[in-house]
Amino acid sequence: DVKVTQSSRYLVKRTGEKVFLECVQDMDHENMFWYRQDPGLGLRLIYFSYDVKMKEKGDIPEGYSVSREKKERFSLILESASTNQTSMYLCASSPWRSYSNQPQHFGDGTRLSIL
């Protein structure tokens, strides 16, 4: 069974802090994704990666960066946290095989509050 693990379920940080959200998957998947979920806006893609050290911007990358140094780990970085980044963050992974037609598996999410 696929396991996607996010490092924290709840996180509280202060404005201006550098924040790291970690995601690890155990199925040797090539693709990994970061989404954020907001009421009324649904889930939106921030960044994704299809290989180690590779990254692509999603729909809302501003204020975020990512790191993928190892295949199993994909980190989302808030360079200088702001209150409008308070949200639910969800990580997902999927295998590459013409990558758009494989099921994605999600972690449990991190509820991040920026004060």
Partner 1 sequence: GIQVEQSPPDLILQEGANSTLRCNFSDSVNNLQWFHQNPWGQLINLFYIPSGTKQNGRLSATTVATERYSLLYISSSQTTDSGVYFCAVNHGGSQGNLIFGKGTKLSVKP
Pairing of strands 110-114, 10-13: parallel
d(CA 13, CA 80): 11
68: Cβ–Cβ under 8 A, 6 or more apart, which residues?
Answer: 32, 49, 51, 52, 53, 54, 55, 74, 75
User: By C-beta, is 29 or 81 nearer to partner 1?
Assistant: 29
Q: Which of residues 52-91 bind partner 1 (CB under 8 A)?
A: 56, 58, 88, 90
* Among the listed residues 45, 60, 63, 73, the single contact to partner 1 using CB under 8 A: 45
* Among the listed residues 50, 72, 73, 95, the single contact to partner 1 using CB under 8 A: 50
Tell me how far, at minimum, the Cβ of 16 lies from partner 1, in Å. Answer: 26
User: What single letter denotes the amino acid at residue 24?
Assistant: V
User: By C-beta, is 51 or 80 nearer to partner 1?
Assistant: 51
